[in-house]
Amino acid sequence: ILQNLSQTPVLRELLKEAKMPGTTIKIESPELCMLCCFSFKQEPQLIKLDQPGPLTLAMHQFVTEMQETKKGVVTPKELFAQVCKKAIRFKGYQQQDSHELLRYLLDGMRAEE
């Protein structure tokens, strides 16, 4: 899940912009338009960003580390710690479903908006 998220261009750009609070970003996603009817024009979304929360900052740090080519193994310790604060079910290193991690991670970041 984390590797896939780190390779999502729209998410990478949003996280990069999230470091600068108070900016307004414009999201135009041609990938989303291909899912719609071709005759349907999707309007870009304008989003005003506030101060990023700790989960969002940890996700930004993780994605940045994943993009560095000189970095060897990437360990998402801080990101995992922030996820555990939002969803205590992940504490204790028990096996969890990846879709649950994705849901808690994205919901947690959205709650910080």
| SS3 assignment for 52-97 | CCHHHHHHHHHHHHHHCCCCCCCCCHHHHHHHHHHCHHHCCCCCCC
Q: pLDDT tens digits, residue range 6-38? A: 989 888 888 887 776 666 766 665 555 455 545
Residue 46's pLDDT is 72
Residue 58 has a pLDDT of: 93
With a pLDDT cut of 90, the percent of the chain lying above it is: 13
Can you give the pTM of this predicted structure? 0.72
pLDDT band at 78 (very low <50, low <70, confident <90, very high): very high
- Which pLDDT value is given to residue 27? 65
**Tokens describing residue 72:** 């060897």
Cα separation values, 6 from 3, 40, 94, Å: 5, 29, 24
Alpha-carbon distance 7 to 67, whole Å? 8
User: Which helix (H) or strand (E) covers residue 33, if one does?
Assistant: helix 30-35
Res 62: pLDDT = 92
Q: pLDDT class for 109, splitting at 50, 70, 90?
A: confident
51 and 20 Cβ atoms separated by less than 8 Å: no
Residue 89 clears pLDDT 90, i.e. is over it: no
